[in-house]
Amino acid sequence: MALFMINRYLGEEEDCESSRESRSSALLAKLQEQVKAREQQSVSNTAEEDNDHHQSDKEQKKRKRQEADGVQHKTKKSDNVKKTDLDDEAASSTKKKKKHKLKTVSNENESVNTGDNESDNKKSVEIAETTESDPEESKKTEKAVDPQIDQIQAETGSSTSQTAFHILGGFKEKTVQKVRRVLPQWLAQPDVIQRDMKNNLIPISQVPGICPILLKKLEANGIQSFFPVQSEVIPAILESVSSGLLLGPGGYRPRDICVSAPTGSGKTLAFVIPVIQALSKRVVCEVRALAVLPTKELAQQVSKVFSTYTEGSSLKVVIIAGQKSFAAERAALSESRGGVSHSLADIVVATPGRLVDHINKNDNFSLQHLRFLIIDEADRMIDSMHQSWLSQVTKAVYRNPGDTQTSFFRRILPGPITVASLSPPQIPLQKLLFSATLTQNPEKLQLLDLHQPRLFSSTHTFSETPQSQDTFNFPQGLSEYYVSCNQSNKPLIILHFLLRLKFSPALCFTNSREGAHRLYLLVKLFGGVEVAEFSSRLSPSERQRTLKDFEEGKIPLLISTDAAARGIDINGVKCVINYDAPQYVRTYIHRVGRTARAGKAGLAFTFLLKVQETRFLKMVSDAGSPGIKRQLVQPENLKGMEARYEQALAELGIAVKEEKARKRF
């Protein structure tokens, strides 16, 4: 009986186990449904928030007004229901109110998660009811309902409190100011050289510092006046040796000198004269000047100029460019007397490859007394730094600290000036750079390891800000033209220029050795024009003989690769023809620079296919060309040569096959 009463008091029957399990399973299923509903609602809320960000301000305000109207409508409805409920339950106790409050909260959670409108109305009724009956209970109820209210406020975008979090920094992207590239001062503010050579000639007697012996030799070679580049650079180099070979002006290391001037402006003589004068007082023969040039022909030309002005003096000039055997060059550089090696050269003119060979393989070749390092065609020599020729020269000039040296004058890499570094004194190494297309790129120039360089330039477009493309000076007397053509009539136009327009002597450039040889054979088979080719197919002696015949006027047309484009001074070239358009502006400048030299007039024609015109004309214009004009060639002017041209093409095919057959055997 007591057990029965206890079960009745607990509200359970003896056979309620099954019903209790069923209620538990039902409650568990209901909770699972609520969890799923919450997840669906969170997904929908996220989608709504994403859509809200893409809506305009007007649409958001409109939606807020609509939601506010809905809340007011619910409030009115809950007020009406509240009045009827208050009349029916006015006599209920405080316990019943509390139980009713808990039930209301549970119903409220279900309504929020399931989205049931009726439960929403009941929730508002119950909240209003508890508020009227007990203020303290209403506060507790509001706290319990706060998470749902916050969620509704987040959806509607409304806010009733001032406790929102503040985002530090925000989401605004910071604008990063770009770094402004600035050229070094020596590049941005060079010593300007006059471009007009004819109207700025200076008599050689007015250039300070030149000794009387060299003045007589200049006059003997027909030089009465200096070009602007010569009158500016020669005194600057002589000033750097005014205190002797061991010290620069003021007792400091002399500054390196860079010269950027057009082709044919006299750069070679600008370094030959001061170097010879600086070395003329030497007592012991040692290699004190080294000139490095990119090609054999250019090295031979510079060596010839040095030999002209050292004639009659004790200075010796030796060229090592591969024109002779290695053993012959070694014998010319030094000799052994009494078991001791003695230098036979004061000035060495070399190409990079042959120079490295002598540094590594010739034990008697010493550069420990080198005072001048001359780098001609400096832009091309910078591009060939992958051969490491400059680092090899530096290692040969400066000894390592652990090496022993019997000479009184030691050579170590220059560093901070201290008492120890100046005692005993050492010979400084001064670099002299010359080019018609010297780059403005400081990163490339850094490879040369220049010391406080001083730039002489005839280019007025140097500025403090680096430009996308370097600008250069074109020869003053040059007239530039381009000819629109196709691949088949190029040879006919060349023949038309030489046979009918008498543009000779003409120097014609191609982009390849094979192209130069085929064009040479075709013109030769056509007949009527004496022609020769100039490329690496020929031996050095054959190329030298060909250049000599061309200068003497025996050959009116010389077809060449870019082997003749760099620095070679070919007398009497009136016309340059770019049979193949150059790919780079520096190549174009050096090609057309073979004419209009030393202030003379010259013509330059470039054959362009239709697809090449836009790019080439823009490239030349951006490089500083004063203007390139179009040269029209009428088709009727070429008709008289077409029959003979077709016959020459057929003969060319046979000649090429015969050459290939001879190479096989």
> Residue 467: its pLDDT value, please?
54
Same domain? For 440 and 518 the reply is no
Same domain? For 329 and 431 the reply is yes
Extract the tokens encoding 616.
């080439």
Of 345, 309, 303, whose CA–CA distance to 211 is shortest? Answer: 309
* Interval 308-330: pLDDT, tens: 999 999 999 999 999 899 999 99
Contact criterion met (CB below 8 Å) for 322 and 292: no
Average pLDDT, whole number, for the chain?
A: 78
* Interval 372-422: pLDDT, tens: 999 998 888 887 665 689 999 999 998 654 444 444 556 777 766 666 666
Same domain? For 638 and 563 the reply is yes
* Interval 337-384: pLDDT, tens: 888 889 999 999 999 999 999 999 999 999 999 999 999 988 888 876
CA pair distance 579, 599, nearest whole angstrom: 25
Parallel, antiparallel or unpaired: strands 602-608 and 557-560: unpaired
Banded model confidence at residue 157, pLDDT cuts 50, 70, 90: very low
Extract the tokens encoding 575.
């016309």
Q: Is residue 294 part of a domain?
A: yes
Q: Is residue 420 part of a domain?
A: no
Helix axes 57-88, 135-156, angle to 10 degrees: 160
Same domain? For 584 and 486 the reply is yes
CA 374 vs. chain centroid, Å, equals 26
Burial of 85 (C-beta count, 10 Å sphere; 0-12/13-18/19+):
middle
Q: Is residue 186 part of a domain?
A: no
Extract the tokens encoding 440.
């403005």
Same domain? For 218 and 147 the reply is no
Of 663, 604, 592, 647, whose CA–CA distance to 629 is shortest? Answer: 604
Same domain? For 101 and 240 the reply is no
Q: Would the pLDDT of 85 be above 50?
A: no
Same domain? For 597 and 560 the reply is yes
Extract the tokens encoding 69.
């109207």
CA pair distance 341, 410, nearest whole angstrom: 18
Tell me how many domains the chain contains.
Answer: 3
Give this prediction's pTM: 0.69
Residue with tokens 């730039």: 455
CA pair distance 255, 257, nearest whole angstrom: 6
Banded model confidence at residue 163, pLDDT cuts 50, 70, 90: low
CB within 8 Å of 34: residues ≥ 6 apart: 109, 110, 113, 114
| Residue 556 structural domain | 478-664
Same domain? For 378 and 257 the reply is yes
Q: Is residue 185 part of a domain?
A: no
* Interval 555-603: pLDDT, tens: 999 999 987 767 678 888 999 999 999 998 989 998 998 898 877 889 9
* Helix residue spans in 189-336 (DSSP H): 212-220, 228-240, 267-279, 296-310, 326-333
Banded model confidence at residue 154, pLDDT cuts 50, 70, 90: very low
603 DSSP assignment = E
Same domain? For 446 and 485 the reply is no
CA pair distance 525, 535, nearest whole angstrom: 19
CATH number at residue 215: 3.40.50.300
Same domain? For 434 and 483 the reply is no
What 398-406 contacts at long range (C-beta under 8 Å, 24+ apart), as own/partner pairs, is: 399/368, 405/368
* Helix residue spans in 454-563 (DSSP H): 490-499, 513-526, 540-551
* Interval 62-79: pLDDT, tens: 565 655 555 444 444 444
> Residue 518: its pLDDT value, please?
94
Same domain? For 216 and 316 the reply is yes
Reported as type and span, the H/E element at residue 373 is strand 372-376
Q: Would the pLDDT of 136 be above 70?
A: no
Q: Would the pLDDT of 204 be above 90?
A: yes
